[in-house]
């Protein structure tokens, strides 16, 4: 989950820079775009983690860990 933590930390730095309001418009737009990419990456990782948690919860009390992708493939068959 280090990637998620890294993305979140970078996103927080971008927000701090944008909140100061002392950057030129062009640099602000670039930071905003970078922030949106980081935000999307964090959201995807959270959705994947949520899916894994839901799979564990749906095991009727049995905490059997299964890779998220394999479980999706089994469900699709």
Q: Structural domain of residue 71, as residue ranges?
A: 2-76
Token code pair at residue 74 = 């089994």
Q: Name the percent of the chain lying above pLDDT 90.
A: 52
Domain count, the chain: 1
* Nearby residues of 56 by Cβ (< 8 Å), 6 or more positions away: 63, 64, 65
Encode pLDDT of 10-43 as tens digits: 999 999 999 999 999 999 999 999 999 999 999 9
**CA gap 48, 56 in Å, rounded:** 13
pLDDT at 1 over 50: no
Mapped onto helix, strand or coil, the DSSP state of residue 66 is coil
> Residue 31 sits in a domain of what CATH number?
1.10.287
């Amino acid at each position: 989950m280090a990637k998620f933590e890294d993305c979140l930390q970078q996103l927080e730095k971008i927000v701090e820079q944008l909140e100061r309001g002392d950057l030129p418009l062009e640099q602000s737009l670039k930071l905003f775009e970078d922030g949106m990419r980081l935000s999307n990456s964090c959201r995807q990782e959270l959705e994947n983690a949520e899916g894994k948690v839901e799979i564990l919860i749906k095991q009727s009390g049995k905490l059997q860990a299964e890779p998220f992708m394999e479980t999706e493939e089994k469900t699709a068959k």
